[in-house]
């Protein structure tokens, strides 16, 4: 399944609030109250289900997610960035990857969103 194919999104100002996959699964983003650019959690719901899975994002001081853990504390994703915020490498828990359940984490530095389909990073602001 191509996660990013025709992905509808919902934004609050400049912050990504929700994505919807082709299979109907929704991912809603929650941010730290004292730092509006730092993602705190991602909540995933399948279709019209009220049941949800929560994933916790562990971020650097600049807001870039370093790790994602599931509700049981298991590592689902981790990333390593270069100086400009490009992801140098990422890992997903091996067993999840083998089951086809690798976690996709598109948020990068504050205000950046990585589109795997196009290979581009979307940046809200950039100083010259």
pLDDT in tens, 74-117: 888 888 888 877 777 777 655 555 555 667 788 887 777 777 67
**What percentage of the chain's residues is helix, strand, coil (to nearest 5)?**
5, 45, 50
Percent of the chain residues topping a pLDDT of 70: 78
Domain count, the chain: 1
Q: What is the pTM of this model?
A: 0.76
Whether 4 is in a domain gets the answer no
Q: Cβ atoms within 10 A of the Cβ of 105, count?
A: 21
18 vs 9: CA distance, rounded Å: 6
Q: Per the domain annotation, does 2 fall within a domain?
A: no
Task: Judge whether 41 lies within some domain.
Answer: yes
Domain that holds residue 19: 9-123
Q: Is 111 exposed, middle or buried (0-12, 13-18, 19+ CB in 10 A)?
A: middle
Query: Could you give phi then psi for residue 78, rounded to 5 degrees?
Result: -145, 150
């Amino acid at each position: 399944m191509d996660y990013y194919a025709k992905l509808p999104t919902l934004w609050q100002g400049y912050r990504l609030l929700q994505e919807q996959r082709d299979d109907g699964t929704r991912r809603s983003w929650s941010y730290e109250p004292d730092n509006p650019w730092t993602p705190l959690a991602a909540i995933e719901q399948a279709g019209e289900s009220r049941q949800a899975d929560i994933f916790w994002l562990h971020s650097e001081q600049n807001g870039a997610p370093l790790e994602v853990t599931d509700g049981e504390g298991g590592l689902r994703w981790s990333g390593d960035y270069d100086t400009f915020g490009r992801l140098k490498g990422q890992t997903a828990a091996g067993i999840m990857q083998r089951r086809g359940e690798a976690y996709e984490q598109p948020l990068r530095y504050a205000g950046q969103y990585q589109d795997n389909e196009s290979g581009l990073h979307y940046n809200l602001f950039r100083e010259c």
